[in-house]
A and B are shown apart, each in its own frame.
Chain A
């Protein structure tokens, strides 16, 4: 019993800390009401504000939705959202939200934005008045006149403080709502659900087998390549040990992918796998959502990465890059961790869906006008890699219903997996345009004059206004799914597996995985 107490007390205390914020009722609704009264009544401001605070909150029609949607914590960071553009293109944005089945509330965002503009004007007006009063008090004045000015100044200051508070809360609320508006969509992207995705390219054809095809689990068992059972005891389901030649296979795939992509001018990286949760959010993921894919570290604001896209995107956060530095192309190796919560029912067998895996990821920072071109470049690299291994696959232009919030356009590659009896996703290439960079704060300064070649954080210099870079990410090699492909496609009747030629130099020259008798 003592043992149990020791272990549970620590855990419970931390759990409670985490839950606390959601138990607090946000004051934002009250504050909005207070402001509204003030705005409509005009000067003098103070008495109206006092009255409004004690009156029951007004409930305009949109507030019903507000009540349900008001979630909690003040955003820890701000996305540089272009509200003006959204307002000017609201039909486009609304249509996009519909096509993507997004739950973003555009009407609310626009409403909050209007309020924000009005409140900002009001704050500025009050500031101007206060300055005017302060100016009037310079020089000689009758004591009674001075006293009146002092009073007025004090009233204005109080009103200002209250309004500025309102402004902060409104800004936070606006951020929170606006952050969930998904990226706009490339005009060529098909509209609809998964079934609407279009096949851009088909490479190879289904291999024919003169014997009964085995799936990768069976092959792995025969060749003593995996241990799922022991991993289940040690770690839990969807974990695994790779053994013997499977270790060579994983190392070979990683080394090969890094080598091939580096040859194309990408800078190789090995990244942290623990990152601050704010960075995860800025990349467009939701670490604390229900059914989150993200593992969090107990007692800290850190998470495990689900993809190297996150630490690579973060490498240049809060920076202004010189024009001449772009494009920046990285190829990054990392382990990836995913909870796979909510994946019940989906294909989960063996290596197809696991909690931990190795991945080589490509990432590009570029000028806005170039991102479509680099998207094509990335998918071409992927297709070349998979073709060179002899895989049969198709490239899909994913439909709007299947795009993640950050993606302007997404190409998925699905490879034929004989053991599974269907195509399975082995890679994804997304053009995120400025969605991530507006959140990560990554800008560049177009060169109008000689800019310094070194990176500078928030540097000053030439007069050209900064713009947000575009970011793209693409899977060069997700190891477990590649292992599934290789084992299932290149299996021989006698149980051996032929290693594709390009991999052999990276596997010490090994040509075949043979059964041991």
Chain B
């Protein structure tokens, strides 16, 4: 209804403008003073009416925008309808490891191996902060280097991104920096925020641009620290590294043509599954149900890995196809090639006659470090308190094979 009233208002404005132009035209050339005066009067009235209507139009348009922005993306037809319990298992890899001894959780293992300090961090920073120490530092650096290396090999361009961004960019990606229970930290005295994921600065890299068709797909793998308030997460699993305010993450991001996004979604989840399989993790991939999709996601696959210390599966990654939800907000278009387009990016450039379209965007977690550390410590713990490092990581940890207790 609102869009109809905007449309009517706009029609009204156009009509008045036409009238005003007509009056202006009538005033060209010689006229009797009284006739001219009448036209001047009419012109003035029209102008006043126009100004008022144009103001209305601006306010209505803003209001329309505001309301419409909260309409979520449409949904892939195969997505199950319902809440969390309706999500479907697409794939199951591996099986629960069996232990001949009492399983420890990552906090206990970390204590025994002197890997973390949550207490000091609580004093210095607050709850849900931590220091990584000793081999845990090697573990984090190893995971990041390994993930970057593996995904770069698959043709993704590596990036290191800003972690402070303008709040408008956060919003354009589909997050709400100033909502209640917002996940987003804001910087005092500015319009800037801390990112909760590299998805935001990577999506923003091409904002307000028209990409040539030949440039697509653009595939990035980005490393950043991520900051989340975790407001509203009370009661959820919060122990140790499972839910923290700051963590390292390697994120994959793709800009592509609309007809290819489903295909790239499959490609991204395949990359994730290959990565986690290579580490020997036991996990399942879920096709998330409609009640569990974020507003931007057309379809979302989550990977949950078995965490023996937690005694259940825990989310370690998420792969979303956002189709054109983010690109319509970030202003990222491409020009389908009908003729030779210039290979360089151009902002709002003119050129060939094909009308521009919005790209599709996808994002997927290659490696969220703290949850991976939970998985590695809990799954590969030995009876004597040591932890075996999966083979693929060893070259990225100076060849280290085992984390051993120090006696």
Could you list which residues of chain A lie within 8 angstroms of chain B, going by C-beta atoms? 1-3, 6-7, 10, 14-15, 18, 227, 230-231, 233-236, 239-244, 246-248, 250-251, 254-255, 258-259, 267-276, 279, 295-299, 302, 304, 311, 314-318, 333, 335, 337, 355-356, 508
Contact = CB atoms under 8 A, between A and B. Distances in A.
Given A239-B164, A258-B141, A335-B225, A298 B121 contact: no
A273 B140 CA distance: 16
Contact of A234 (B66, B130, B201): B201
Interface string B156-180: 0111111111100100000000100
B62 A314 contact: no
B157 to A, nearest CB: 6
B131 A272 contact: yes
A156 B137 CA distance: 61
A121 to B, nearest CB: 36
B205 interface: yes
A239 B66 contact: no
A246 to B, nearest CB: 8
13 contacts: A2-B63, A18-B188, A231-B201, A235-B166, A241-B162, A241-B205, A272-B130, A272-B246, A273-B227, A279-B124, A299-B188, A314-B124, A315-B131
Given A274-B245, A298-B186, A235 B201 contact: yes
A243 B157 contact: yes
A243 B162 contact: no
Contact of B162 (A1, A235, A271, A304): A235
Nearest to B124: A314
Contacts of B130: 272
Interface string B222-254: 010101000000000000000001100000000
Interface residues of B, number: 58
A268 B138 contact: yes
A272 B125 contact: yes
B148 interface: yes
Nearest to A299: B186
A356 B159 contact: no
B296 to A, nearest CB: 17
A406 B189 CA distance: 28
Contact of B123 (A247, A297, A317, A355): A317
Contacts of B185: 274, 297-298
Contact of A251 (B145, B186, B187, B206): B145
Contacts, number: 165
A507 to B, nearest CB: 10
Nearest to A270: B132
A247 B201 contact: no
B126 A233 contact: no
B185 to A, nearest CB: 5
Nearest to A358: B160
Contact of A269 (B63, B131, B207): B131
A311 B149 contact: no
A240 B133 contact: no
A108 B3 CA distance: 69
Nearest to A288: B188
Given A1-B59, A269-B137, A337-B164, A315 B120 contact: yes
Interface string B42-83: 000000000000000001001101100000000000000000
Contacts of B59: 1-2
A333 B131 CA distance: 11
Contact of B149 (A258, A296, A356, A508): A508
B339 interface: no
Contacts of A315: 117, 120, 124, 131
B337 interface: no
A248 to B, nearest CB: 7
B25 interface: no
- Shortest Cβ-Cβ A-B pairs, 8 listed: A234-B204, A314-B124, A268-B137, A247-B158, A270-B132, A242-B160, A298-B186, A296-B188
A33 to B, nearest CB: 37
A508 B165 CA distance: 31
A276 B126 contact: yes
A302 to B, nearest CB: 7
A259 B398 contact: yes
Given A3-B66, A227-B205, A254-B141, A272 B159 contact: no
Main secondary structure of the interface of A (DSSP, over half): mixed
B330 to A, nearest CB: 10
B13 interface: no
A244 B162 contact: no
Interface centre among A10, A15, A227, A356 (most CB of B within 10 A): A356
A132 B1 CA distance: 85
Contacts of A7: 178
Contacts of B186: 297-299
A234 B169 contact: yes
A2 B66 contact: yes
B129 interface: yes
A244 B158 contact: yes
Contacts of A258: 137, 141
B208 interface: yes
A197 to B, nearest CB: 33
A311 B120 CA distance: 9
A233 B168 CA distance: 11
A316 B120 CA distance: 7
A1 B62 contact: yes
B137 A302 contact: no
B123 A356 contact: no
Contacts of A311: 121, 124-125, 131
B192 interface: yes
B227 A270 contact: no
Nearest to A279: B124
Interface string B250-261: 000000000000
B201 A276 contact: no
Interface in B102-148: 117, 120-121, 123-126, 129-134, 136-138, 140-141, 144-145, 148
A279 B126 CA distance: 11
Nearest to A14: B188
B62 A3 contact: yes
Nearest to B133: A269
Contacts of A355: 162, 164
Contacts of A247: 148, 158-160, 223
Nearest to A355: B164
Contacts of B160: 241-242, 246-247, 250
Most buried by A among B123, B148, B246: B123
B204 A230 contact: yes
B125 A235 contact: no
A7 B62 CA distance: 14
Contacts of B129: 272, 274
Contacts of B120: 314-316
A234 B165 contact: yes
Contacts of B117: 315
A434 to B, nearest CB: 20
A241 to B, nearest CB: 6
Contact of B134 (A10, A268, A316): A268
Contacts of A15: 189
A487 B245 CA distance: 35
B312 to A, nearest CB: 27
Nearest to B206: A230
Given A273-B225, A279-B124, A315-B117, A356 B163 contact: yes
B123 A234 contact: no
